[in-house]
Amino acid sequence: MLKLDEGLLARNKESEILSTYVAADRIEANLRENAKLFADLAGYIASYDPDRILLVGSGASWCSTYTGWYFLRTASSLPALHFFGPELIADDPPVLREGRTLAIVSSYSGKTADTLAASERLAAAGIPRIALSKDEAGPLAAGCERVLPYRDKCLYTSAMADLLSMLCSLIELRGEAGPARELRAALERVPDQMRNIIPLAERRAMADLERLAGDDFFYVLGDGALWALAYQFGYTNLTEYSRVDAASLRSCEWRHGPLEVMFRKPAMIHLVGTDRTRPWAEATRDYCAANGGRLATWDARDYFDTHPVLAPFALHPVSQLFLLYQSTSRGIGMDDYLEMHVKPYENGETYF
């Protein structure tokens, strides 16, 4: 049985990134308190009549906007684009100079340098922007035409829930009421569902950690609605907080070369959803299990039944709890950064 330092565990439970124990309450409060704002912003977007929606962010904020993009891509006829801030600036896509684009620009702090630079580029191009941020205080919100604030530390789940609810209102105004109502009804059930699975997620996270506790490298695989969570968990959570190496890869791409590492019997975390990518995720999971992989499998079906787009809410608790226990087992305080928020990434940056 893995022993954790109780004092450090208690401190890490209060860390800024750990939102497991408050996420359900905050989603519920946001959906209730921001209902009028969602409708107002949807009306603002609809009145602008965009040819496309552009979603921009960095880190976990990019991941939360991915879910909004994935919803539009799979449920709406409204075209959507999704970019990292530096990617948007570097690519300078010509399509943004054609027709009408509306941008949703996301940053938890409202101070992320890459996202601010992208927002300024969009402003120069005359593209209206909605800031998705924890509050109205940061420079991102101050510079955008409208703001969608979620007012809490749940930079992934609250931001994702608010964005999805607003997009439901938008596509309903566009005449796509069926997909909007289906997702909204499922989203309203999510808070209770998340509360109910906390004990299960705690047990699963600890059992998986005990099996993989000594590993310093993880492959994290996901696809479809879960791709952004897999990406975030690997490159942000495991590397940023637990300070272990990780590679986030698409489940459907594992067969195209990466499987040659199976002889090393790698530690692997497989995120399996319920959307149409599930057959690829299952095939990759089964191949890895049969050929030497040491797996932790987080399957949305094991947690609660929901709309396929909402699978990240089902697996967010177990991923965060694994991170909590892993970081604590390594003696790491999850607010104690060595690089981020400590050293400027580029000369002259005042927020880092």
pLDDT at residue number 1: 77
* Identity at 167, one-letter amino acid code: L
Three-state DSSP class for residue 137: coil
The partner residues of 105 in beta bridges, in order of sequence, read 56, 131
What would the pLDDT profile of 275-324 be if each residue is shown by its tens digit? 999 999 999 999 999 999 999 999 999 999 999 999 999 999 999 999 99
pLDDT at residue number 104: 98
Six-digit token pair at 296?
């932790």
Query: Any idea what the Cα angle at residue 284 is, between residues 282 and 285, rounded to 5°?
Result: 65
Q: Hey, how many other C-beta atoms are within 10 angstroms of the C-beta on 139?
A: 18
pLDDT confidence tier of residue 348, bands split at 50, 70 and 90: confident
pLDDT at residue number 297: 98
- Assess whether pLDDT exceeds 80 at residue 203: yes
pLDDT at residue number 350: 80
- Assess whether pLDDT exceeds 80 at residue 352: no
pLDDT confidence tier of residue 257, bands split at 50, 70 and 90: very high
- Assess whether pLDDT exceeds 80 at residue 351: no
- Assess whether pLDDT exceeds 90 at residue 349: no
Domains of the chain (ranges; CATH) run 6-16+197-329 (3.40.50.10490), 23-191 (3.40.50.10490)
What are the angstrom distances between the C-alpha of 31 and each of 26, 38, 172, 175?
8, 9, 17, 22
What would the pLDDT profile of 99-148 be if each residue is shown by its tens digit? 999 999 999 999 999 999 999 999 999 999 999 999 999 999 999 999 99
Parallel/antiparallel/unpaired status of strands 146-149 and 129-133: parallel
The angle, 0 to 180 degrees and rounded to 10, between the axes of the packed helices 157-173 and 35-48 is 50
Report the mean per-residue pLDDT for the chain: 97
What would the pLDDT profile of 15-46 be if each residue is shown by its tens digit? 999 999 999 999 999 999 999 999 999 999 99
- Assess whether pLDDT exceeds 90 at residue 236: no
| Mean pLDDT of the 59-71 span | 97
Give the whole-angstrom CA distance, residue 225 versus residue 186.
15
Beta strands in 155-288 (DSSP E): 217-222, 245-250, 267-272
Give the whole-angstrom CA distance, residue 93 versus residue 115.
16
Q: Hey, how many other C-beta atoms are within 10 angstroms of the C-beta on 9?
A: 14
- Name the pTM for this structure: 0.97
Give the whole-angstrom CA distance, residue 189 versus residue 197.
13
* Percent of the chain whose predicted confidence (pLDDT) is above 70: 100
- Assess whether pLDDT exceeds 80 at residue 65: yes
